Structure 1
């Protein structure tokens, strides 16, 4: 039997996937979760063999969940991760490796059957290698440009130009070296597209643009960024562990 945990913040998508999985012989749905933190708790408690993991969730992305798992579990304890996403196939070229699969929303039963066949093959392979390879691919900035708004004009930014992103007055703003732009993407979408580092619920930074790490109050930190204003970005306790790992301090 293949023991599965389904993680998705949208109940209709979660229910649809469960319905399809229950039609697959040999699959047992151990439980479900509707956010990243709950997923981490249930993975540690239930130790499912496979996790179908939504990428875009409000508290933490599926990629952030994967990075946490790499620090919390031994290689032999890691589950196989199957990403669930609304991205099209071209945008998901990085997922097409032999170790970790993905399924697109709305879910297709035939495609899911193919995924299950891959899972059966993967169960005999080291999960840590699988997860590390896919995360290494996904953390590289995408070549696709990011559309932003300035003075009623739409500009296209290269990811390498971006210093950090933040939420200001309910808008998501993107800071480059000397300019600030508005974008229609939310921070979770930008985190997935760019592979940048989440430091706070309202901040996402380009790790290559961090100039200095400054100790702050109660074990927290601020990051001094490499823009012309030398902007200071907070690091909250929630994201401190991941920030320390990515920046090696």
Structure 2
């Protein structure tokens, strides 16, 4: 798969370097180069969609972060354009994460670092292509329903595959969630998503929300009362809002 790309940077040397790296990469095709975010926006809105934008952040008139937010609101149909930010200021990393950037390159970067970010983009679009091209076999009669036993969670600019059986519990923290795993319980995965979004993805026969801030894996529960759940050393409260549903679940053992 070849990915179409544009490069946006107000520094001529930096712009030339990114374009040279794109030309050097076999699975990338340079579709445009812009010295300002305003020019890039005009080209993106009037021309064909591109797969990846290598985008500087600090630029006059319109910054890279502002351009990313405009593109999010422009709703260009089903095509997803991913952004790799390039900047000399590491304090923008969290802002890049908030606008769903694919990766973040800190200047000065070499070709090896550029290729690592480009490879993330290729892996992302390979995954999207496989999902989109999968035959819709679920519409045909089948003896049993086939369901996934994993989910993908965005962690530090990449999609991480997590098996349901590896999840202990998930904690919601405003704009983020912490996912605790059996395989590495002391190092939770941090993701910029909502607890509600994950609740909708998880199978209800394996997971239960017991608090506005917690979802637990039912097979990971070590002990419980009507007011709390213990998973390993963690004691998780069961709030009043969820006590009836949780009570129905535990009634089979009481």
For normalisation by structure 1, the TM-score amounts to: 0.46
Specify which structure has the bigger relative contact order, considering alpha-carbon pairs within 8 angstroms and separated by 6 or more residues: 1
TM normalised by structure 2 equals 0.45
Which of these two proteins has the greater Rg computed from alpha carbons? 2
